[in-house]
Amino acid sequence: MKESTSAGGVVLNKKERVLIVNQRGSLWSLPKGHIEKGEDALAAAKREIAEEAGITQLEFIKELGSCQRYKIGLDGDDDRSELKNITMFLFTTSQSALKPIDLENPEARWVEKSEVAELLTHPKDKEFFLRVVDRFESG
């Protein structure tokens, strides 16, 4: 089994809605992806958010922590060939228009905080979001 490191973010817009992204047309997650050589986790998170949603004006608020989970397989179940170590950050943005440029993530949308967990595909993503959502208000 391969282990990888990824980074991403919870992005809040001015209406306090949360950014979620679509993977391969059927799976929903928070924007995140692999950390490339020479990048730190924060730089990778910003790059992934730009690629998956077109949001480039990000204000870093704080690190939200890390989680570990298997890669999402094509069928939505765990792909146990890769264990991902994911670091997540909290950002705000004044941008509202979403323009994904990553072909594997064709859609992004703003959703109410109360709806995020039910829309996320992977149970570990849901669990992580529910664990950190109360930290958004404290800035």
* pLDDT, tens digit (0-9, with 9 covering 90-100), for 3-43: 999 999 999 999 999 999 998 777 899 999 999 999 999 99
- Alpha-carbon separation of residue 42 from 53, 60, 69, 89 (angstroms): 16, 9, 19, 7
All domains of the chain in start order, with CATH: 2-133 (3.90.79.10)
Regarding beta strands 2-12 and 78-92, do their DSSP bridges make them parallel or antiparallel, or are they unpaired? parallel
Q: Which 8-state DSSP code applies to residue 133?
A: G
Indicate the pTM of the whole model: 0.92
Regarding beta strands 27-29 and 78-92, do their DSSP bridges make them parallel or antiparallel, or are they unpaired? unpaired
Tens-digit pLDDT profile for residues 39-93: 999 999 999 999 999 999 999 999 999 999 888 777 767 888 888 899 999 999 9
